Amino acid sequence: MGKRITKHLTYLFEALLEVVYYKDDVCIICGGNAEEINICKSCLNKIKTCPGDTVLCKNNNYFIYYSVSYYSKVMKTLILRLKYKGDFFSGETIAKLMVSHIQREKIKFDAITFVPMTKRAEKKRGYNQSQFLSKLVSKSLDVPLIKCLVKVHESNDQIGLDGSGRWDNLSNCFRAVNEKMYLGKVILLIDDVITTGATAYYCGDAMKKSGAKSVIVLTAAKSCI
């Protein structure tokens, strides 16, 4: 009985969100006629995609990462709106672009996870943008979403830090959880932007040490790396 009530309430909540966030077919960037992913063809064409994968290496530890596009123009606007303004239409667009990229690059994995925030930081923002994107990608591809990590230490804002500062800032910040759920599995780690790769590396390293077969990183955009 309790499970049926919970399922019913979840359905009603999701339906309510669709009504609250309903928007006409208008491009969320320029106001033109939108396509299926909330932006027009002109704005979509301004997103410079990043084909293929790149290797992230440190201390003889390797991770493959993919990025949908470069951190510029339209993609930069979408990410900043999601991250700092709670614009979930922008997040929806990013997630759909991620799904298309996964399919185009034929990325194979067993489950999806996300870069965590500390409880304090998430409470202040009200949501975790990487978790939001992961939920949408998981639902679209029908692949399990697993919480594999927690952020145990608050780090300083990465903005303004140089390369070595970013790595030092995030050292020992992440801890693996729910290890039995991803033991021996290939995990797709989702985040919004990759710059030096420090966040992705420490998250991936924590999961590999806890039993993940391998970790593949996917971000909406890449900056300086």
Give me the percent of the chain exceeding a pLDDT of 90. Answer: 72
- pLDDT surpasses 70 at 5: no
Name the residue among 95, 100, 105 with its Cα closest to residue 192: 95
Domain ranges within the chain, ordered by starting residue? 1-43, 46-222
Residue 110 vs residue 160, higher pLDDT: 110
Residue 159 vs residue 98, higher pLDDT: 98
Mean pLDDT along residues 194-210: 94
pLDDT digits (tens, 9 = 90+) for 35-48: 878 999 999 999 99
Written as one string, the DSSP assignment of 11-24 is HHHHHHHHHHT---
- pLDDT surpasses 60 at 158: no
pLDDT digits (tens, 9 = 90+) for 52-93: 999 999 888 899 999 999 999 999 999 999 999 999 999 999
Give the orientation angle of helix 198-209 with respect to helix 163-170, to 10 degrees.
40
- Token pair in block for residue 1: 């009985």
Q: How far apart are CA 132 and CA 98, in angstroms?
A: 13
By CB neighbour count within 10 A (0-12 exposed, 13-18 middle, 19+ buried), where does 7 fall?
exposed
Q: Which pLDDT value is given to residue 84?
A: 95
Q: Which pLDDT value is given to residue 11?
A: 45
Task: Give me the CATH topology for the region 46-222.
Answer: Rossmann fold (3.40.50)
